[in-house]
Amino acid sequence: MNRYIMKGGNPLVGEVQISGAKNAALGILAASIMTDENVVIENLPDVRDINVMLEAIQEIGANVERLDRHTVQINASSIHAVSVDDEYIRRIRASYYFIGALLGKYKSAEVPLPGGCNIGSRPIDQHLKGFRALGARIEIERGAVLAHAIDLVGGHIYLDVVSVGATINIMMAAALAEGQTILENAAKEPHVVDVANFLNSMGANIKGAGTDIIRIRGVRRFHGTEYSIIPDQIEAGTFMCGAAVTRGDVTVKNVIPKHLEAISAKLLEIGCEVIEGDDEVRVVGRPRQRSTNIKTLPYPGFPTDMQPQMAVTLALTEGTSMITESIFENRFKYVDELTRMGGCIKVEGNVAVIDGVKGFTGAQLESPDLRAGAALVLAGLAAEGYTVVDEIGYIQRGYECFEEKLQRLGASIEMVDSEKKANKFRLKTG
Ligand code: EPZ
């Protein structure tokens, strides 16, 4: 089983190229099957969830051609099935995007219900509410969502919960429905806007993405397109926190600074220096960083996917901080791991009270989920001594070349698959 081993103490210093946004790419890949013409997608992150999505698109009969590591050409004219029942696809949550894409194009879809995951139950009731509002009949059978419609007709949909997935999924189905759909209380994340822009590049008529009211006027069919994915806001934020945690000096390159404003604001509040360029942000950590409070909120609020990374940062500041997790009900599982490193954090419901400590000591840790795993690596890079992070498959789902990018910033970290290799690392760096 692969794991990361690292020796803490090196500040992260230098520049890091940020990859394409995983959560935009997942929606865009699903939407790419909605036309029978060629679609070329650039700046795809080379991460596990994306590769699983591409396999599933191939499984239902589309032609997928890798033009290079980050560019793919898809032609969905040969799709022969609207049932996506691939064993791998069950492992990624974004499989639900196939419902909106297949329902929009073929008026029929059969897709496994996404599993919950370690951060909460993650229902899809709002997705299904939207599809029904467009005229689809929805049944749950044998662990799958069966969606069928004679015709899809635009409607007025009000989301009870601000949901990224539901916003993207309903937008896809409505884009090929008859008439106008008004989607209220929509999510405004950058990746929602990216999927809307992608659909519009195929001929859709979507206005208002990025606001809480999206107006979609259905069209008859989509044409081909070439499209480049936006940079990953959360990967960038993770490296920005890496600079703060290790008291380093990191410039994240190929980013959209506006997407990072909530993260930059918090790093400024704790005393980091944050310098914004046109397509880069530089973060300089300070020896003494202050506490602050955070509440995760839908965009443009502080992103829930940055909550663990910020908790590690605050755990190494002076004073007491509070983090309120308002999006998911179980997103503090990493706190026990930080306690083993000397962290002083108390979780009461959806609030974590963090008493800053001077430093961590290295420990054997287990990654509970994607973002918490990345946060534990940051903690290990700041800790005294050696840290091992297990279950790094989670991290590889969303971070491309994570350890290589960290190594290039001066981190002493390696991926190893045996205790023998871990000992070799200890001897080499001892
Ligand atoms: C997306 O998940 C992201 N995943 C998540 O990132 C991210 O944390 C989340 O948005 C919030 O920003 C992908 O894009 C693949 P939601 P999603 O629907 O769409 C509730 C990562 O680390 N809800 O916005 O599933 C839900 O339970 C991952 O990259 C309903 O109640 O999230 C949650 O409390 C982790 N009913 C809240 O809404 C629904 O039908 C927000 O969920 C849908 C959601």
Q: Do residues 254 and 236 touch, judged by C-beta distance below 8 A?
A: no
Q: Do residues 41 and 227 touch, judged by C-beta distance below 8 A?
A: yes
Helices (H), 318-369: 335-339
Mutate to test the pocket of ligand 1, among 28, 230, 327 (most ligand atoms within 8 A of CB): 327
Measured from the CB, is residue 93 less than 6 Å from ligand 1?
A: yes
**In this predicted structure, what is the pLDDT of residue 51?**
94
Expressed in angstroms and rounded, the spacing between residue 302 Cα and the centre of ligand 1 is 14
Expressed in angstroms and rounded, the spacing between residue 122 Cα and the centre of ligand 1 is 7
Here the tokens at position 252 are 């994240």
Q: Which residues are catalytic?
A: 117
Which tens digits make up the pLDDT trace of 121-177? Answer: 789 999 999 999 999 999 999 889 999 999 999 999 999 999 999 999 999 999 999
**In this predicted structure, what is the pLDDT of residue 119?**
82
Q: Among residues 91, 17, 81, which one has the least CA distance to residue 251?
A: 17
Nearest CA to ligand 1 atom 14: 23
| Alpha carbons 142 and 307: distance in angstroms, whole number | 35
Measured from the CB, is residue 23 less than 6 Å from ligand 1?
A: yes
Measured from the CB, is residue 192 less than 6 Å from ligand 1?
A: no
| Alpha carbons 227 and 31: distance in angstroms, whole number | 12
Cis amide leading into 300 (omega within 30): yes
The CATH architecture of the domain made up of 22-228 is Alpha-beta prism (3.65)
Q: Tell me the whole-structure pTM to 2 decimals.
A: 0.97
Q: Do residues 418 and 37 touch, judged by C-beta distance below 8 A?
A: no
* 90 secondary structure, DSSP code: G
Here the tokens at position 122 are 């993650």
Summarize the chain as % helix, strand, coil (round to 5). Answer: 35, 30, 35
Closest ligand 1 atom, residue 327 Cα: 34
Nearest CA to ligand 1 atom 44: 163
Expressed in angstroms and rounded, the spacing between residue 347 Cα and the centre of ligand 1 is 22
Q: Do residues 365 and 376 touch, judged by C-beta distance below 8 A?
A: yes
Measured from the CB, is residue 299 less than 6 Å from ligand 1?
A: no
Closest ligand 1 atom, residue 298 Cα: 12
Mutate to test the pocket of ligand 1, among 92, 97, 164, 305 (most ligand atoms within 8 A of CB): 164
Closest ligand 1 atom, residue 328 Cα: 34
Q: Strand 108-112 relative to strand 137-141: parallel, antiparallel, unpaired?
A: unpaired
> Do 22-228 and 3-19+231-429 have the same topology in CATH?
yes
Q: Among residues 90, 142, 150, which one has the least CA distance to residue 116?
A: 90
Closest ligand 1 atom, residue 189 Cα: 12
pLDDT values of the chain reduced to their tens digit, one per residue, 430 residues? 899 999 999 999 999 999 999 999 999 999 999 999 999 999 999 999 999 999 999 999 999 999 999 999 999 999 988 888 767 677 788 999 999 999 999 999 999 988 656 788 789 999 999 999 999 999 999 889 999 999 999 999 999 999 999 999 999 999 999 999 999 999 999 999 999 999 999 999 999 999 999 999 999 999 999 999 999 999 999 999 999 999 999 999 999 999 999 999 999 999 999 999 999 999 999 999 999 999 999 999 999 999 999 999 999 999 999 999 999 999 999 999 999 999 999 999 999 999 999 999 999 999 999 999 999 999 999 999 999 999 999 999 999 999 999 999 999 999 999 999 999 999 999 8
Mutate to test the pocket of ligand 1, among 53, 122, 396 (most ligand atoms within 8 A of CB): 122
Mutate to test the pocket of ligand 1, among 161, 191, 263, 367 (most ligand atoms within 8 A of CB): 161
Measured from the CB, is residue 163 less than 6 Å from ligand 1?
A: yes
Measured from the CB, is residue 120 less than 6 Å from ligand 1?
A: yes
Expressed in angstroms and rounded, the spacing between residue 36 Cα and the centre of ligand 1 is 29
Please report, for the chain, the start and end positions of each structural domain, with discontinuous segments joined by +: 3-19+231-429, 22-228
Measured from the CB, is residue 122 less than 6 Å from ligand 1?
A: yes
Measured from the CB, is residue 26 less than 6 Å from ligand 1?
A: yes
Q: What is the dihedral of CA 307, 120, 332, 410, to 10 degrees?
A: -50
Closest ligand 1 atom, residue 187 Cα: 24
CATH for the 3-19+231-429 domain, from 3.65.10.10, 3.40.50.620, 1.10.940.10, 3.40.50.2000 = 3.65.10.10
Expressed in angstroms and rounded, the spacing between residue 199 Cα and the centre of ligand 1 is 21
Measured from the CB, is residue 325 less than 6 Å from ligand 1?
A: no
